[in-house]
Chain A
């Protein structure tokens, strides 16, 4: 894969929010690239900056309060940070599409879902209204909506949570994007439909080389549907690895704790307390010096508290992994 040029490359992205209480950095020096046909997963504790990272790529964060303070965003050779709003508008929804974490905030309550998908298609394609509608219905069917010919004329409030989420996915796929940014696309869905949608995404990436940035907290989705994984914690990347390597030998103590709390059917005793990662993520306004996971880490030593921990390579050169932990090699062996 590395012989081709990456489709998207993000270098040193820093995003801050200005608030009355001062500025907080929600995303701090995040770098990654995605190649055509590749799926990159992002996981990490709630509030660690996953959505902000994805929204920054399309400059969808309201500025102010948000501000991209630093970093570069390149997509297919173009610098997304310097595109004009009009040029970017042409990229959004067409070459790069996004499935938002909260469907209700991105669906328009006064139009039927069909009208919204048709509009999305016709914004970038010369299709007639009728062609676009036929396409909308077939997309709804492909995301597992039964009775798509009726649902196409429903308003968002008439649909269940999982149906709305699938409407969003259908809309995002309507223009056959080169890159799909999918923020928790299947959280509201049961496993059967989740599998159907993830299979659909896999088939699109095979047939049209669509690349996917998949944000999810579901580790079994990560395990089965991504190629590489980025683990984030309190705004930073703490680990990046190929998915097989990550699950086989997690390098960062946070990653290990996360994998250990993966739920299993019939695992453990019913109605007993589940294992959690003790403690709370530090507030972005008062991050500790040194490692951001230090308060919750069982392996913390004095040097972890001294200064910011760099992201360093881990394992073999072939594995091409990175980790932000001073004791990674020692602890993972």
Chain B
């Protein structure tokens, strides 16, 4: 598969704790991530709340400026492009935002919201062609054309989310960062959106970075899954392999918590309480050490584990000194 999106040592640090006069403390939202998404591929991105998923997605689209590292899209290094140079690539990379409300302009009707990207990128002639395309988009996300003249505040949370999805699809992008695209939706509409994403991929070869905390949906839709912990990739593998044979203790804990996965839960040691870091990692230690049930003092707290590949499958990679056996 041809790589469409590639990040190299990509990172974002946010200064924290009271402005200019406190030096040196940062939230390391994303910390040196190497990630590849192939043409027509779906990469699932999972990890607990605050692990850096949304930040990584936005960095790739350059909606957030990186602190360091590079992003390449279809051969163009976009981290160094000016806003003008970036413009033609913008159509090809879209995002479905996690928070639908704040991402829709409250003063625009649904028709305007969907027409805007078509006009900016001159994709349809105004009039009946544009109208036809808008109606088709709405239909695909399960909404009726009657709503075209309504404003965002007139919709429920799930309806707004679907308007946001329709907008991202309007320009026929090659790559979409889907940030929790179905979390606000009931199961039947979730299924409808998942089916839509699968169909578009089959028809048009769209690639997705699919961010979700719902591991069941991620398993269903992804070719490959990447696990993020505290801004670091800790494990990645094909979906089949990851769900059946994860080796990183964090991934295993994550999978064990999925409802209906009681078998995996019983087999696992109890996770240290998230709110009481009993142990502290040194600056260069593994970020998961404070909570890791199999971390060892002297190794895990002092050295950051390198990414290594499984002996029988080089696409299964993980960063752990003491990986569990498959």
Q: Give the interface of A toward B (CB within 8 A).
A: 17, 19, 21, 43-47, 50-51, 101-105, 141, 144-146, 148, 150, 153-154, 158-163, 166, 184, 187-193, 195-196, 217, 219-220, 224, 257-258, 261-268, 270-277, 280, 283, 285-286
Contacts and interface: CB of A to CB of B under 8 A. Distances in A.
Interface string B255-294: 0011111000000000100110100000000000000000
8 contacts: A19-B154, A21-B149, A104-B101, A193-B49, A217-B185, A264-B216, A273-B195, A280-B143
Contact of B213 (A102, A189, A274): A189
A200 B197 CA distance: 36
B18 interface: yes
B159 interface: yes
A192 B187 contact: no
Given A46-B159, A190-B49, A190-B213, A261 B187 contact: yes
Nearest to A100: B157
A51 B155 CA distance: 11
B48 A192 contact: yes
A193 B186 contact: no
Contact of A47 (B158, B195, B257): B158
A188 B191 contact: no
B158 A154 contact: no
B126 interface: no
Contact of B49 (A148, A162, A275): A162
B245 interface: no
A276 B192 CA distance: 6
Contacts of B180: 161, 188
A215 to B, nearest CB: 10
Given A46-B158, A162-B48, A217-B190, 9 more contacts: A47-B158, A101-B157, A104-B102, A161-B49, A184-B157, A187-B184, A191-B259, A263-B190, A265-B261
Nearest to B25: A150
Contact of A188 (B195, B198, B213): B213
B188 A277 contact: yes
B9 interface: no
A138 to B, nearest CB: 10
A153 B17 contact: yes
Given A160-B54, A193-B49, A261 B191 contact: yes
A46 B277 contact: no
A263 B274 contact: no
Nearest to A296: B188
Contacts of A280: 142-144
B219 interface: yes
Interface in B135-192: 142-144, 146-147, 149-150, 154-159, 162, 180, 183-192
A286 B49 CA distance: 41
A222 B102 CA distance: 28
Contact of B186 (A43, A195, A270): A43
Contacts of A104: 99, 101-102
Contact of B159 (A47, A145, A148, A257): A47
A158 B187 contact: no
B244 to A, nearest CB: 9
